[in-house]
Every structure is written in C-alpha cells, then in structure tokens.
Chain A
Amino acid sequence: MKDSSYVSGAVHQNVKHDSAIKQVQGRAEYTDDIAEPIGTLHAYLGVSTVTHARILDMDLSPVRAAAGVVDVLTATDIPGVNDISPTGKNDEPVFPTDKVEFHGQPLFAVIAESRDAARRAAELADITYDVLPHALDPVSAEQAGLPLITDPLKLERGDVDTALAGAKHRIQAQMMVGGQDHMYLEGHIAFAIPGEDDDVIVHCSTQHPSEAQHMVAHVLGVPSNAVVVNVRRMGGGFGGKESQMNLFCAVAAVGAKKLGRPVKIRPDRDQDMTATGKRHDFVIDYDLGFDGDGRIEAVQSQFAARCGYSSDLSGPVTDRALFHADNAYFYPNVRLTSRPQKTHTVSNTAFRGFGGPQGVVAAERMIEEIAYALGKDPLEVRKANFYGDATDGRNLTPYHQEVEDNVIARIVEELEDSADYQARRQAILEENAKGGIVRRGLALTPVKFGISFTATWYNQAGALIHVYNDGSIHLNHGGTEMGQGLNTKVAQIVADAFQVDFERIKITKTTTEKVPNTSATAASSGSDLNGMAALDAAQQIKERLVKFAAESRNVAETDVYFLPNHVQIGEDLIPFDAFIKEAYMARVQLSAAGFYKTPKIHWDREAGKGRPFYYYAYGASCSEVSVDTLTGEYRVERTDILHDVGRSLNPVLDKGQVEGAFVQGMGWLTTEELWWDDEGRLRTHAPSTYKIPLASDRPRVFNVNLADWSDNREMTIKRSKAVGEPPFMLGISVFEALSMAVASVANYSECPRLEAPATPERVLMAMTHLKAKG
C-alpha cells in the first residue's frame, strides 16, 4: 500500500467555514437575497394591541382599502387546519378567532405589492376587544389560577423527605432566572412560490425544514409531498428558528396558494422579538440538605417556567431543566418537579441549552448557598459534590442514568491549575479586604451536559450523496447551516471517507426533497447525527466501488484502498476521477441515501427513568470580574476555559462555538434583560433596548482550550462530541464571579442570591441589600 499524500480538509483538521469567502464578500445568499420573480407580493402581520381579551369584532376594511394592499388573510383563509403546534397539541393557531392571549399576538396578515405598504396597512385594523385580566409571570399566573400548559415532569430518587429532615444543614430559598431573546442577526423570513396542483416551494430560515414542511401541509390541508422547504443557510438560529418559523412559512404559503403569486414575509426586528418565543424565564424553589463538609444529602426543587400562551416546546424545555438540575453533582436523594406554567406572554421556545442552562444555574446557586453557609470556597464545595463513578456509587443521575464517561474532575483540576485559581483567589480576597470601591470576584464553574434529543425518535438522520461521473461529489443531509459549520464538518467526513479533497464536495441547500423526515438541527446533535448518516451513504457507495474495483482487476476486495485522491487496486493506482468514470461505464450505482439512529438511548417519561442521553460533554470556565460598588457596573477581566469536545472534527470551528457560546451565555446572565410593562408589553424588543454583549464586553483576557486528550467513549462520529450547547453554560462563571464580588461587601457572610440577569442595577441592589443587613 502506498503511503498517503495529502488530502485537504479531512476530519480533525482546521478547515475554514465553507461559506466564509462568500460571507465576507456579501455574496452568501440568505432568504431575503433570493431574486424575486415578477409579481412577488409581501406579507406583514397585524398584531394585537392588548394582552388578554376576547375579540368582539375585527374590522379590516381600512386595511383592505389601504394603498397597495392586495389581500388580507385571517383564520378563515386557512384551507387546512388552523394550528401550528409543533407537538400536535392543537393549542397554537396561525391566527386566533376569538381571543388574544399575549400583547403583539398575530391576528391577521396583510398582503401587498410592497413590504412597506403591507406594514403600513397592518396598523389600520380596527379591532374591538373585551379586555380580560392578565398574568405575565409564573408566580402571578399560578396565583391567578392559570393552568399548566403541558404535563409536568417529576424526577425522583432516594428518600428525600427523610434526608432533608435529617441533614445537618438545610436551606430553602428561591431564585429568579431571566429569559433571553435569540437576537440572531437575520430575523425570521419565509418566501413561498406556488406551483402546479397543490405544490408550493418555501424558502425560509428554519432549523427544522421537515417540521415546516409538515406544518405548511397541515395548514394548507394538502399532503406533505406537495410542499418543499428549502434552507440554504440561516443568519443565526440558536433555537429561535426551531419551531418559530412555522408561522411565517404557513402565512407565506397560504397567501401564495390563495393568490397564485409568490409571497414573502419578513417581520421587522420589533415584531420578530415580540411575536416569537424566547428562552424561558424560571422561578426555582429549592430545598437543600447538606452535611458539615458541604456534601449534598438531598435536593428538592421546583422549576416553574414562563411558558407563554401555548405549549410549543415548553414540555421538553422544562423537562431538560430537570435533566440538568444536577449539573455535575451527585444528589444522593433528590426530587425535582417542573411547573410549565401558562402565562399571557409570547409562547417561549427552544434556545441553546433548551432549559438546561436554567437547571445548571440553579445547581450552581445551591453550591454557593453551601459555600457561604459553611464559609468555604465554592470550588471546594463543587469538588466535594462531583459525580464519581461506578466504584464509589456516586454516579446515578436523578433520572437513573449512570454517568459512565465522567471527566469533570480532570477538566476542573487542569483548569484550576492553568488559570492559577488558588493564588488569584487569595490575592482577590486580600485586595477586597482593603475595602476599595472596586471589588473583584473569581469563580470556576463546571458543566456537564447530556447529548441526545430527549424525544428519542428525533435521534435519527438522513443524508444523500451523489458521485457524478466526473468525480465531483454532491452532498446533502438533513441538518441545517446556521453558522456553526455543520456543512463543513459533514463535508470533511465525506472527504475523509472517499479520501478526496474537501473542495471536490459541493455542499447544497437543505431541502425536504432530498432527505425526508429530518429532525431539527438542535440539541447540539447536528454533526453527531448528520455526520453519521453521511458516512453511511459514503460507505454504501464505497462498498459498491470496492466490489467493482476488485472484480475489474481480479484482486481481493481487501486489496482495494482509497488513497488521497486516488484508488489503489492491487498494483494499479488510479486517479479518483478516472476510477469513477470507469465505475460509471460499468454501471455502478454512484448515489446512496444514508441513515443513522443513535443507539443505546431510551426514556420512560412516566417513570422518570431511562437513558435519555447517549453521552455527556464536559467543560469548565474560570472568570474574574471587577465590580464598581458605587454603580454596579462591571467588567470581565479574564476568562479561562477548558472544554471537552471529544476528538474534535474541526478544532477551530469547535473553538469558535465555545467562545461564541460563552459570550452568549454571559450575555444571558448579565446585560440581556427582557422587561415587560404592567400592560404586558415587552419593552426590550430590539437591540436599542435589548443589550447583547459587544466586542468590548468579552473578557479582557480570554484563554480558550479544548481538552485535546478527550475521546468520546461512545462510537460517535470519529469519537467527537457535540459542541453547540454545552459551552453556553460556561458563561455561568461570570455570574458566580459577580456574586463573589457582591458578597465581599458583607465579608462573604451571606449568599448574595443574585438574580439573573445580573444587570448593573441588580448587582448594585444586591450589594445595597447585603450592606443593609450587615
């Protein structure tokens, strides 16, 4: 066998994002950039101006009479089913008919010759409401008697009541955790082009083309085979385009079919932020028992979430909050319950971490409680409570899955060392003791995150590969590209499988025509699932090629090798192109559909038991902050990160995910505040009022490393691990560091119980509160 020469862009290499060159030139095409056919119309949503009401009358005649208006769509224009609930609960109408349940709820759509005309006309509706009382947050909604929006979950293990009662120390308290807007730079957009028969093609920006396809079919009352959904790329998703695009796809498709003309709908940023869901805010009640060394004996927590007016994905989101309420810690006795609370707000949805971050931040709050109660370094308490392994019996999660791949202790130990945690903590304690105006805080927080959709059936994927007879390769898979580099990674896998240069592979748009019944590109699963499916397709073609090659030269199949851009058949070394041409001439099928389903996983929700996760990803971050005790303003001085992505498919893309997730997670817990007024209006609804981190907010010193020694012990694609969501929770170290700086004003005698997001205001108020008590 000849030694390999070089193949560009194979797995484990630092391949650049495949669209980078187009993106820096402004030539990468997003949905709004697609050339519009003559006759294209534009839709815009008309929304409610009250929060909770019965609709008594909707006079849309002024809308219809406005300049440029072609039509107005209401619920009566929906030929199929007026519902886009992603979980089939039939609780999310495209347009409601009799009631309004949140401020800014879409009630109708204007279709006009221009977007500007549609937008202006949408303001002209004359709607008569019978206004009803509203409840915006989970606490007041519970008091008002609003129902749970979907079934709650309970996870339980051990004898919680006895353990709590018998614990040496016990703390009961509450934590408020704010939600988060996705603030993807490209907002929602859908562009429907009608075809013959029932056909419609929808170009849009969704993470879940199959669901959009099924929803459009459902709303149009046509079979799914009439609907094609295409996604070339998204300008960011973060979970906000998992189910939320269904509305826009449905409106565009209904309009296009009704009028027989292409219809595009793109809300402006304010409508995007007010009419579509966000990360759930939570109110978490915890009851915690621990011993004198700070070891947790029992935990009982309730996670109440602001779900909004419909269920959307709130069931699985609140489930995942419970799945991560342990973070990296072993709870010998535990009872966790969710309260997916209906509220009169927009229906909250998926957001990177999918409820997990809210569970993790609550776990870290409990660690702080123990540390302040016992006068210990929180890191010491963390270490005392880490999961162990089968040998010490401290490896069972609240959902009865054994943690088999635990590397958190090593991650944390290495980071503690490389970040010089102990010496810096000591220096900060000494500096703070001088009582200056500026106080510092330091925290090192771990993350353990379960990988797999907890809806087991979602853990499947498909891919389609064509090798054309010139040797070029066409790759399609069910995942969507939203910036994370999924297409690049999957193409690397295919390049590696065929041993051809990355450039030979054309990555094409995601389309329901090529790969059916796909899952959302979500739950960090994109490369795990689609990479495996693409590899399966490549292997099918390779098997046929090997068989053909062996027969053609009369050698054993074991004497056929794919070498860089060549194939070795016995003594013959043939360029890949020539070999493919030969195979084509011999009538070898050069196309294959691949498939993958994640093994080992199962979940019994009723019993609260199973193995919902194939494996865990781990990481830790250490952040230092400075806080101005006069104003509550702060800066992140330094962050060190060590994160586990198994054997990285593409280290530089993975590092980009880790850095971006950290900053986004930090934003969630610091400056990103969703603020509703008493009337139920979201007042932070655009970047002028909703503040995501800027370049100047990132840590002054930012050291990010991947745990290069890590291999996934499960048979994942090339032993890599998922990277999308887990590093989001690394941002918690900033929150905890702020907490330490706040605690310094009372000499660390009390847990500051900082609420999230820790805006400068909340930081100052927490310090004021501590000083007043001291």
Chain B
Amino acid sequence: MAHQNEIRFLLNGAETTVTDAKATTTLLDFLRIDRRMTGTKEGCAEGDCGACTVLVGRLHNGRLHYETINACIRFLPSLNGCHIVTIEHLVGPNGRLHPVQQAMVDFHGSQCGFCTPGFVMSLYALWMANPKPTVEQVETAVQGNLCRCTGYEPIVQAALAVNEYGTLANDVLNQERADVTARLAALQPTRRIEIGPEDDRAIVPHDVADLAQVLADEPQATIVAGSTDVGLWVSKFMRPISPVVFINHLEELKNVTLSDDALTIGAGVTYSESQTHITEVFPHLTDYWNRIAGWQVRNMGTIGGNVANGSPIGDTPPVLIALGAEVTLQKSDGQRTLPIEEFFIDYGKQDREAGDFVASIRIPRPRRGQRDAAYKISKRRDEDISSVACGISVTVEDDKITDARVAFGGMAATPKRAATAEAALVGAKWGEQAFEDAAAALSKDFTPLTDWRASAEYRSQVAANLMRRFFLDADNSTNAQLATA
C-alpha cells in the first residue's frame, strides 16, 4: 500500500491538507509565514517563553482532548489528525470577546501585548481543565509563559476570574466537540505517512510494528516524540536530522499499566499524561513533576524521550534510577530490558543499538520500609533546567538501612548513582550520622563541572546538603523546607 504523502489536520474551523511540509517545518512558521495567521507570536523559538502557545486537540481512545503546546518547536508532521486551535479561533457568545480575553482586558493583564495571545491560550486550557483554579494552579498553568511587563499579578487575577465571564458548556470548543471529534476521526491515517524532501524527510509510522520496520530500514533516523529537545536542534542549531520518525501519535506507546509490583509507562506517555499515575504511586514526585519545564512542554515531552535523550541534566533519570526503574528497548526482532542506569553509558552515548527504540519504563512499586525523595535545584524555581537533580530511595528495616539508591543529575557526564554514598548508608543505623557520612562520601562519587547554571563548588555543597535534607524530611523535622504553595 502506498504511503500517505500529505499531512491533514483541522486548523481552527478549516480542514487543512499540507503536501509540501518538511519534517522540520514548525507549526509556528506554518501559521505565521504560510498562513499569515499572525496572532501567534515568536518570542524565543525554544519553548521557554510561551508567546507561541496554541492548543492541540487530539483523539485519545476516541475522546477529544485539548492541551497547550509550544508551536515554535512542534513539527507539522506530528500534527496529522489533530485540531490546531489558535488565538484567531477564540470568540465569545455573540461575537464578543471570549471570557478569557475579557477577563484579561478587565484585569489589565496586557501591557505590551506580545505575550498576551500565549497567556490567553494557556488560561483557556486551564479554564477548560479546571474552571475554578487556585492561585497555585494558575501559577502552574502559566509556568511556561513569560511576561516582562506586568509582574503577573493582573494575569493571575484575570485567570481566577475567567469563570465569572462565561460557562464552559457554551464555549466554542465545547459547542464544536461532537463535530470536531467526527472530523478528526475521519482524518486518522490508515497507513504510514511520508512527506518532505530527502534532506528533510518525515516518516509517521502507522503503528509500533511499522515503527520497528522503519527503524530497521533506516537505523540512522531521528526519533521524535515530544520534540521538546529535538525541536531546539532545529530551531536553534539548524542541525540536519533527516529522516525524522514521529512517534507521539502511537497509541501503543501511550499505555500506562499498574500491576501488583510495578508501574509501567509507555515511551510515548507525556509528563502530563503520566502525572496522576506517577504521583498516585509515588507521592514524593508530586512537586517534582510540576517543576519539569512548563505546562506546554509537559504536554509535549515524554518520559521515554527524556530517558532516550540521555542528557546528564534530564529531570526524570535521577529519580527513575533511585526508584530502581528499568527501560525496555525494542526493535524489529525483539525486546531487551535493562536497569535504567546501565542505559546511560557516557555523555551523549546510550546503550541503544541500531534499530532500537525505547518502548517503556518500568518502575517497581515501593517496598515496605522504602523512603523516597526527589529534589531539584535550579536558578529559578519553575521552568528551569536543574543544576542538580537528585533521587534518593532508602529502605529501612528495624532502624537499619538495608538498601540505598542515590542518583544525581548535573553532577557527572551522565545521570549517575552515588556508589560511595550508597555504601556509606547501607548497613548504617537510620540517623543523622548516616547521612552526614553519605554527604561526605559524595566527594568521592562526583567531580562536577562549573557552567552557567552553577559552579562545581555549589553543586558539591548542595548535593551533600540534599543528603541532610533527606534525613530531615524523612524525620519530619519542622521548619526544614520552604513552603511550596
């Protein structure tokens, strides 16, 4: 069967077919340059400022779900079968301003106005998901939106008031829901999509078997799930990555299963999609998960991608290592599973053979007596890349530490376990001294670097202090942590 050679999606109200897209054509350039839809702005082209925020609606198990994304780092071929909703689509009843827009006007949430369309889209998504948010929920929803003029207070006030300006049932996307669901169902591909010139070619496999086949045929292909990192290879570094294999649409990679002994997360599950599952089994990751990038990036980025990418400063590897997670790699002729720390061989080098793709991550459920923590240190609390990230899991039986897994990001060329510190803990009596010893041992485990995120000295000192923090937290010491809300 011949491949589909075009991308089809709904753009606001219009069914749209694109035949000349390249693999790395961004949604933002498509909107602004090809379609002259200039309401969506470019502020940074790296997914950090949110001026390009749009909504993407897609079918998941037949149900239509909308989420915010950064159009600047989202490639067009990844949007086949989706509903793209831009600021131009927002209207209120009788053609008046949309409730989010009216609230932003009334609360003076717009000064220079350049970030405003992006904020409107984020607040719209928040309203749809949570019509009566708390202040903290508003802040979490706009972590990925920068404003340089207002100081944010009027935007937060507007967000809290949106629901007084309209009812969700009457809202434009709700009114269109049945129609859009049907139209998107009709747009779902029935075969592989291939589009783009040879030097910028996109392959959208039909299913996981097809993905395995594509990678067997073209093992040099760049696998793209959320494009939250690969997007920058293109938007910032203009790096050639052809051919590009898109996997974010593959339902088989979006499974989350909780068994008696483990939580298994498909490689295509985004941070947002995994959040409730993760925090249900691992409540210590609740705050940590909300500090992974901003909302748009959490909606795009996947845990599988974060692992496969192998960055020494990825947020999830240290906590996954500490929890004893395993990664399953798949290719056309089978699967293999290995402890996640063994996947990270060296800087930029992972244990991924030709044709391999990350299929899933399996995290064992906590054992009895297991105490877990996850810490992220960054220059700015939210939407920042960690200077030090840390996962700690310690098992205590009869006041004695019987097992310890301590892993750090930002301290070495890969996410890495602190073997000496672990050795200091295992067998020790549960108490302050054990963690003082572990803190001291860290200097044997790591020789961190100085860069723009932190100095080596700070990284070392903070890493040691996180050992102390773990004991204080586990010991329920009072006044030991900044309030988080």
- Given A185-B41, A234-B112, do A675 and B452 touch, yes or no (CB 8 Å)? yes
B264: CB under 8 A from chain A? no
B143, A683: Cβ atoms under 8 Å?
Answer: no
A652 to B107, CA, bound (A): 9
Q: What are 15 A-B interface contacts by the 8 Å CB criterion?
A: A24-B105, A25-B87, A26-B41, A28-B113, A185-B49, A185-B148, A235-B41, A236-B149, A483-B149, A628-B482, A631-B466, A635-B483, A664-B148, A696-B381, A697-B380
A185, B108: Cβ atoms under 8 Å?
Answer: no
- Given A185-B49, A663-B152, do A17 and B108 touch, yes or no (CB 8 Å)? yes
In this complex, the member of B110, B138, B453 whose beta carbon has the largest number of chain A beta carbons within 10 angstroms is: B110
Q: Which of A185, A186, A438 contacts B147 (CB 8 A)?
A: A185
In order of increasing CB-CB distance, the 4 nearest A-B pairs are A26-B39, A483-B112, A235-B114, A23-B113
In A614-633, the 8 Å CB interface with B consists of 626, 628, 630-633
In A645-699, the 8 Å CB interface with B consists of 652-653, 656, 659-664, 671, 673, 675, 677, 683-684, 686-689, 691-698
In B150-169, the 8 Å CB interface with A consists of 150-156
A695, B480: Cβ atoms under 8 Å?
Answer: no
A27: CB under 8 A from chain B? yes
A319 to B483, CA, bound (A): 42
A455: CB under 8 A from chain B? no
B452, A185: Cβ atoms under 8 Å?
Answer: no
B154, A484: Cβ atoms under 8 Å?
Answer: no
B108, A673: Cβ atoms under 8 Å?
Answer: no
B481: CB under 8 A from chain A? yes
Collect the chain A residues with CB atoms within 8 Å of residue B43's CB. 185-187, 269, 687
B170: CB under 8 A from chain A? no
Collect the chain A residues with CB atoms within 8 Å of residue B108's CB. 16-17, 20, 652-653, 656
A659 to B236, CA, bound (A): 33
In this complex, the member of B41, B51, B90, B111 whose beta carbon has the largest number of chain A beta carbons within 10 angstroms is: B111
A702: CB under 8 A from chain B? yes
- Given A236-B114, A687-B46, do A438 and B480 touch, yes or no (CB 8 Å)? yes
A660, B462: Cβ atoms under 8 Å?
Answer: no
B139, A696: Cβ atoms under 8 Å?
Answer: yes
Interface of chain B, main secondary structure: loop
CB distance from B12 to the nearest CB of A (A): 12
Q: Which of A183, A437, A653 contacts B481 (CB 8 A)?
A: A437
B142: CB under 8 A from chain A? yes
Q: Which of B232, B458, B478 contacts A761 (CB 8 A)?
A: B458
B87, A26: Cβ atoms under 8 Å?
Answer: yes
A688, B381: Cβ atoms under 8 Å?
Answer: no
In this complex, the member of A33, A186, A661 whose beta carbon has the largest number of chain B beta carbons within 10 angstroms is: A186
Collect the chain A residues with CB atoms within 8 Å of residue B382's CB. 694, 696-697
A269 to B468, CA, bound (A): 40
A120: CB under 8 A from chain B? yes
**Given A25-B101, A633-B381: 19 more A-B contacts, CB < 8 Å:** A16-B105, A21-B97, A25-B88, A116-B29, A185-B114, A236-B149, A630-B468, A631-B469, A632-B462, A656-B108, A656-B151, A659-B150, A660-B151, A688-B46, A689-B452, A689-B453, A693-B151, A761-B455, A764-B462
In A249-299, the 8 Å CB interface with B consists of 268-270
Chain A binder among B115-123, B172-180, B183-191, B332-340: B115-123
Interface residues on A, range: 35 or more
Collect the chain B residues with CB atoms within 8 Å of residue A704's CB. 153
Q: Which of A234, A631, A653, A765 contacts B457 (CB 8 A)?
A: A765
Collect the chain A residues with CB atoms within 8 Å of residue B41's CB. 26, 30, 185-186, 235
B112, A687: Cβ atoms under 8 Å?
Answer: no
CB distance from A313 to the nearest CB of B (A): 20
Closest B residue by C-beta to A689: B452
B479, A437: Cβ atoms under 8 Å?
Answer: yes
In this complex, the member of A29, A691, A768 whose beta carbon has the largest number of chain B beta carbons within 10 angstroms is: A691
B469, A630: Cβ atoms under 8 Å?
Answer: yes
In A473-500, the 8 Å CB interface with B consists of 482-485
In this complex, the member of A234, A630, A675, A684 whose beta carbon has the largest number of chain B beta carbons within 10 angstroms is: A630
A764 to B379, CA, bound (A): 12
The digit string for A559-598, where 1 denotes a CB below 8 A from any CB of B, is 0000000000000000000000000000000000000000
B461: CB under 8 A from chain A? yes
Collect the chain B residues with CB atoms within 8 Å of residue A399's CB. none
- Given A630-B465, A631-B462, A688-B385, do A20 and B45 touch, yes or no (CB 8 Å)? no
A663 to B477, CA, bound (A): 33
B104, A671: Cβ atoms under 8 Å?
Answer: no
In this complex, the member of A119, A182, A236, A696 whose beta carbon has the largest number of chain B beta carbons within 10 angstroms is: A696
A349 to B77, CA, bound (A): 42
B48, A688: Cβ atoms under 8 Å?
Answer: yes
A693 to B145, CA, bound (A): 10
B412: CB under 8 A from chain A? no
The digit string for A1-38, where 1 denotes a CB below 8 A from any CB of B, is 00000000000000011011111111111101101000
Collect the chain B residues with CB atoms within 8 Å of residue A696's CB. 139-140, 143, 381-382
The digit string for A219-236, where 1 denotes a CB below 8 A from any CB of B, is 000000000000001111
CB distance from B89 to the nearest CB of A (A): 10
B101, A691: Cβ atoms under 8 Å?
Answer: no
Collect the chain B residues with CB atoms within 8 Å of residue A21's CB. 97, 101, 105
Q: Which residues of A contact B (CB under 8 A)?
A: 16-17, 19-30, 32-33, 35, 116, 119-120, 123, 182-187, 233-238, 268-270, 434, 436-438, 482-485, 626, 628, 630-635, 652-653, 656, 659-664, 671, 673, 675, 677, 683-684, 686-689, 691-698, 702, 704, 759-761, 764-765, 768
A236, B112: Cβ atoms under 8 Å?
Answer: yes
A24, B104: Cβ atoms under 8 Å?
Answer: yes
B257: CB under 8 A from chain A? no
A635, B110: Cβ atoms under 8 Å?
Answer: no
In this complex, the member of A19, A628, A633 whose beta carbon has the largest number of chain B beta carbons within 10 angstroms is: A633
CB distance from A15 to the nearest CB of B (A): 10
Q: Which of B46, B114, B153, B461 contacts A659 (CB 8 A)?
A: B153
- Given A233-B112, A268-B45, do A659 and B154 touch, yes or no (CB 8 Å)? yes
Q: Which of A660, A683, A692 contacts B146 (CB 8 A)?
A: A692
- Given A26-B40, A185-B147, A662-B151, do A691 and B380 touch, yes or no (CB 8 Å)? yes
A27, B482: Cβ atoms under 8 Å?
Answer: no
Closest A residue by C-beta to B111: A483
Collect the chain B residues with CB atoms within 8 Å of residue A185's CB. 41, 43, 49, 51, 112, 114-115, 146-148
- Given A236-B112, A236-B114, do A24 and B468 touch, yes or no (CB 8 Å)? no
B380, A694: Cβ atoms under 8 Å?
Answer: yes
A438 to B87, CA, bound (A): 43
B472: CB under 8 A from chain A? yes
CB distance from A486 to the nearest CB of B (A): 11
CB distance from B314 to the nearest CB of A (A): 14
Collect the chain A residues with CB atoms within 8 Å of residue B149's CB. 236, 483-484, 656, 660
- Given A185-B43, A436-B480, do A633 and B151 touch, yes or no (CB 8 Å)? no
- Given A630-B466, A695-B139, A698-B152, do A673 and B112 touch, yes or no (CB 8 Å)? no
Collect the chain B residues with CB atoms within 8 Å of residue A635's CB. 381, 482-483
Q: Which of B40, B90, B101, B477 contacts A437 (CB 8 A)?
A: B477
A482, B112: Cβ atoms under 8 Å?
Answer: yes
A695, B113: Cβ atoms under 8 Å?
Answer: no
- Given A687-B49, A692-B148, do A35 and B381 touch, yes or no (CB 8 Å)? no
A675 to B454, CA, bound (A): 10
Q: Which of A30, A120, A269, A631 contacts B465 (CB 8 A)?
A: A631
CB distance from B403 to the nearest CB of A (A): 24
Collect the chain A residues with CB atoms within 8 Å of residue B39's CB. 25-27
B236, A236: Cβ atoms under 8 Å?
Answer: no
A238, B148: Cβ atoms under 8 Å?
Answer: yes
Collect the chain B residues with CB atoms within 8 Å of residue A686's CB. 44, 46, 48, 236
B156, A656: Cβ atoms under 8 Å?
Answer: no
B112, A24: Cβ atoms under 8 Å?
Answer: no
A234 to B114, CA, bound (A): 8
CB distance from A272 to the nearest CB of B (A): 9
Collect the chain A residues with CB atoms within 8 Å of residue B385's CB. 688-689
